Amino acid sequence: METAGATPMPRTELLNVAETVAREKGIERDEVLEAMEMAIQKAGRSKYGQENDIRAEIDRNSGEIRLARYLEVAAEVENEATQLTLEEAQRRNPALQVGEFIIDPLPPIDFGRIAAQTAKQVIVQRVREAERERQYEEFKDRVAEIVNGLVKREDFGNITVDLGRGEAVIRREELLPREKYRRGDRVRGYIYDVRREQRGPQIFMSRTHPQFMAKLFGQEVPEIYDGIIEIKSVARDPGSRAKIAVISHDGSIDPVGACVGMRGSRVQAVVAELQGEKIDIIPWSQDPATFVVNALAPAEVAKVVLDEETRKIEVVVPDEQLSLAIGRRGQNVRLASTLSGWEIDILTEEQESERRQAEVQMRSQTFIDALDVDDVIAHFLVSEGFTSIEEVAFVPEEELLAIEGFDNEVAQELRLRARNFLAKENERLEARVVELEIEETLRDLPGMTTQMAVALGEAEIKTLEDFADLASDELTGSEDGLLSAFKLSEAEANEFILRARVVAGWITEEDLAVALAPPEGAVVEAAEAETEPQPPADA
């Protein structure tokens, strides 16, 4: 390979300039020198022809500039300006092979005004790009940190914050209500996202993010910083009220008391930063019922009923506690629901009693109609916890005999009547399926019952494709869901539809596995038993 005879262009001052720029911008000297090489290269192509492969090199020790034209040795020439044949190349140097270069040194460039301006633009652009990359690399690892900065400007409610080595944006919706900042004000926020964009790295800060509060407590409470106390969850109505659930991994330390601090000093420091946002500090409990009761404080709870499949919890409160439990505009129950991860339905004791009576009456009437029994026997069945005809038909006979006043004859007769009713009902449903012309592939879908198929058919969902095209909330809507009577959870409905899409050939089994996989970073709750719950502290 032929080497170029260096065309020295004494520029030792280039190294000093590069070092100064690198120091001011916080980037590497080599990045500045590479930008200078690109500028010289661009000027060289302007002088000798844009079609040529002109390259510049600055000696990292002496600062000398070498400019040369490169010609590639090619088996087949496609561009005569940058390539030549092996035969032509070997006339100049017999040792050259295909893929190597002939390097022709060029004389120094006398920078004119236009060329100098172009070179300056290239250098500025490359330095700016290097600076942006440095900012991105620095701040992408600072996501989930609290940072301080000075307000640089305000645009339509959004504020730009100078962080020293970068700029961040706090959007209007990420500021607390009624919060106003002027240029030069100091502001503290939580970095929740850093993106690499065309105009440079975009750093997004928030003062309304739930984790901003969690991080503030981490700064104020040494036990949280040391990992002795853990923040399990946070729910906020920014600027108004928040709930935070904490647990202590040291039995001798009260997590609520530690977060409140002596005379409320610790929690008040957080409240002051959040413009007076009221904070309830809740002891976390592994038991969902206990945790929800704690989360609804200061309201008193009389009874809770859990439905673990749908993650719904029914809370019964004394009549006079209803408004306190719900809170202004539903704030208390909404925050408790977010904090616990359970959907909370609040009833008064009177409402719960009325609903329970209505359910008893409805179930009793079902047994009266289906089994042709009087209301006394129907009431006995309901009182013993029987909820469906299927239970009467197929539970062990001993369970029926355990009901006071029931003997063998009564138990057998009830089982026989229940099975006869189910057989007739099944015949009716099968006939209805045929009448509705429901596609067999839909009926054969795993998990699909005849009752479900009829309910879908009556809603004009008669083919597998019709069903696969549904959304989960169309199945489970509280009142108008197509299968709401079958008590499907959102997750079950979603899986039901996805499996239909697999059968229909819309997605693969691998797609299904990915869709049903738990999300990354899902919190797995600790299995250890926790300490007795304490009343929440609020600030």
Give the global pTM. 0.59
pLDDT tens for each residue of 211-256 = 999 999 999 999 999 999 999 999 999 999 999 999 999 989 999 9
Question: Please, which residues have CB within 8 angstroms of residue 70's CB and are 6 or more apart in sequence?
Answer: 53, 54, 55, 82, 101, 102, 103, 104
Please report the pLDDT score of residue 146 as a whole number: 92
DSSP letter at 284 equals: -
Is the N-terminal amide bond of 298 cis, ω within 30° of 0?
yes
Please report the pLDDT score of residue 26 as a whole number: 67
Q: Is the pLDDT of residue 373 over 80?
A: yes
| Mean pLDDT along residues 334-342 | 93
Q: Which of 322, 305, 216, 202 is nearest to 259 (CA)?
A: 216
pLDDT tens for each residue of 170-206 = 999 999 988 888 899 999 999 999 988 877 788 999 9
| Mean pLDDT along residues 123-151 | 82
Higher pLDDT, 134 or 330: 330
Please report the pLDDT score of residue 235 as a whole number: 95
* DSSP secondary structure of 367-395: HHHHH---HHHHHHHHHTT--SHHHHHHS
Question: Per the structure block, which two tokens stand in for 181?
Answer: 């900042």
Residue 246, number of CB atoms within 10 A of its CB: 26
Strand, coil or helix: what is 148? strand
Question: Per the structure block, which two tokens stand in for 429?
Answer: 């449903």
- Contact by Cβ (8 Å): 536, 281: yes
Residue 5: pLDDT band with limits 50, 70, 90: very low
- Tell me the C-alpha distance between 232 and 243, whole Å: 11
Q: Which of 50, 66, 25 is nearest to 118 (CA)?
A: 50
Q: Is the pLDDT of residue 115 over 70?
A: no
Q: What angle do CA 206, 209, 213 make, to 5 degrees?
A: 105
- Tell me the C-alpha distance between 76 and 141, whole Å: 48
Residue 483, number of CB atoms within 10 A of its CB: 23
Q: Which of 333, 255, 335 is nearest to 536 (CA)?
A: 255
Strand, coil or helix: what is 260? helix
Residue 131: pLDDT band with limits 50, 70, 90: confident
Question: Please, which residues have CB within 8 angstroms of residue 121's CB and are 6 or more apart in sequence?
Answer: none
- Tell me the C-alpha distance between 286 and 292, whole Å: 10
pLDDT tens for each residue of 245-297 = 999 999 899 999 999 999 999 999 999 999 899 999 999 999 999 999 999 98
Label the pairing between strands 146-155 and 101-105. Answer: unpaired
pLDDT tens for each residue of 501-530 = 988 889 888 888 888 776 544 433 333 334
- Contact by Cβ (8 Å): 283, 538: no
Q: Is the pLDDT of residue 12 over 50?
A: yes
| Mean pLDDT along residues 488-507 | 86
Q: Which amino acid is at 256?
A: V
For the chain, counts of helices (H) and of strands (E):
22, 16
Main-chain dihedrals φ then ψ at residue 18, nearest 5 degrees? -60, -45
Q: Which of 129, 110, 111 is nearest to 120 (CA)?
A: 111
Question: Please, which residues have CB within 8 angstroms of residue 165's CB and are 6 or more apart in sequence?
Answer: 26, 135, 138
- Contact by Cβ (8 Å): 455, 483: yes
Q: Is the pLDDT of residue 114 over 70?
A: no
Residue 532: pLDDT band with limits 50, 70, 90: very low
Please report the pLDDT score of residue 110 as a whole number: 62
Cα dist from 10 to 36, 113, 170, 510, 531, whole Å: 14, 20, 49, 64, 77
Q: Which domains does the chain have, with CATH numbers?
A: 12-134 (3.30.1480.10), 143-206 (2.40.50.140)
- Contact by Cβ (8 Å): 348, 355: no
DSSP letter at 28 equals: -
pLDDT tens for each residue of 22-59 = 777 667 778 778 877 887 888 788 888 888 888 888 88
Helix (H) or strand (E) holding 162: strand 158-162
Please report the pLDDT score of residue 14 as a whole number: 67
Q: What burial class does residue 69 get, using C-beta atoms within 10 Å of its C-beta: 0-12 exposed, 13-18 middle, 19+ buried? A: buried
Percent of the chain with pLDDT over 70: 89
Please report the pLDDT score of residue 537 as a whole number: 55
3-class SS string, 477-535: CCCCCCCHHHCCCHHHHHHHHHHHHHHHCCCCHHHHHHHHCCCCCCCCCCCCCCCCCCC
Residue 361 Cα to chain centre, angstroms: 45
- Tell me the C-alpha distance between 515 and 495, whole Å: 9
Question: Tokens 């009448």 identify what position?
Answer: 435
- Contact by Cβ (8 Å): 33, 127: no
Helix (H) or strand (E) holding 155: strand 146-155
- Contact by Cβ (8 Å): 153, 181: no
pLDDT tens for each residue of 450-487 = 888 888 888 898 898 998 888 888 888 666 778 887 87
